[in-house]
Amino acid sequence: MAREAKHTASISLGIMGAGFLATFPAGGHWAGALLHGGFEAGLVGGLADWFAVTALFRRPLGLPIPHTALLPRNRDKVVRALIHAIENEFLTKESIKRKAAEARVAEKALELAEGRLPEIVRAVVLLGDHLLNHLPAERIADFAAGELERALERLDARALLRTVRDEAIARGYEERALLFLLEKAEGLASSDAARYQLGHMAASALSNLQMNGLMGFAVNAFVGFMSEDKLGGLLQNAILNSLREMRADAGHPLRLLLLDELRRALDGLPDSDAVVREIESAKGRLFERPGVRERLQRWLEELRVRLLDWLHSERFAEAFAIPVLEKLIASVKENAAMMHALQEWTQNQISLLVERNHSKIGKLVKENLDRLDNDTLIRMMEDKLGKDLQWIRVNGAVCGFLIGLALEGINLLTGA
Among candidate residues 77, 76, 59, the one with its CA nearest the CA of residue 68 = 59
pLDDT (0 to 100) of residue 213: 47
Q: How many CA atoms lie within 13 A of 163 on its CB side?
A: 6
For the chain, the structural domain boundaries read 171-286
Q: What is the mean pLDDT of residues 125-138?
A: 87
Give the Cα separation of 185 and 29 in Å (integer): 144
Query: How confident is the model over 52-81, as pLDDT tens digits?
Result: 766 666 666 666 666 666 566 666 776 677
**Could you tell me which residue, 206 or 166, shows the higher pLDDT?**
166
**For residue 44, what are the CA distances in angstroms to 57, 146, 394?**
21, 93, 12
Rounded to two decimals, the pTM is 0.45
Query: How confident is the model over 218-237, as pLDDT tens digits?
Result: 555 555 555 677 778 888 88
**CA-CA-CA-CA dihedral for 54, 57, 63, 64, to nearest 10:** 130
Among candidate residues 228, 226, 222, the one with its CA nearest the CA of residue 195 = 228
Percent of residues, the chain, with pLDDT higher than 90? 5
Among candidate residues 243, 116, 257, 120, the one with its CA nearest the CA of residue 183 = 243
Highest mean pLDDT: which of 92-106, 126-140, 363-377? 126-140
Give the Cα separation of 198 and 194 in Å (integer): 6
Quick one: pLDDT band at residue 217, thresholds 50, 70, 90? very low
| Consecutive H or E run containing 325 | helix 322-334
Among candidate residues 207, 196, 254, 260, the one with its CA nearest the CA of residue 230 = 196
CB atoms closer than 10 angstroms to residue 251: 6
Give the Cα separation of 48 and 55 in Å (integer): 10
pLDDT (0 to 100) of residue 41: 75
Is the pLDDT assigned to residue 116 strictly greater than 80?
Answer: yes
Is the pLDDT assigned to residue 87 strictly greater than 70?
Answer: no
Q: What is the mean pLDDT of residues 26-45?
A: 72
3-class SS of residue 210: coil
Is the pLDDT assigned to residue 211 strictly greater than 50?
Answer: no
Which of 244-258, 339-353, 378-392 is predicted with the least confidence, judged by mean pLDDT? 378-392
3-state secondary structure 100-167: HHHHCHHHHHHHHHHHCHHHHHHHHHHHHHHHHHHCCHHHHHHHHHHHHHHHHHHCCHHHHHHHHHHH
Is the pLDDT assigned to residue 416 strictly greater than 60?
Answer: no
Q: What is the mean pLDDT of residues 241-257?
A: 89
Answer yes or no: are the C-beta atoms of 333 and 110 closer than 8 Å. Answer: yes
pLDDT (0 to 100) of residue 391: 64
- Specify the DSSP class assigned to residue 287: T
The angle subtended at Cα 290 by Cα 284 and Cα 292, nearest 5°, is: 75
**For residue 186, what are the CA distances in angstroms to 117, 180, 210?**
61, 10, 33
Crossing angle of helices 273-286 and 157-170, in 10° steps, is 110
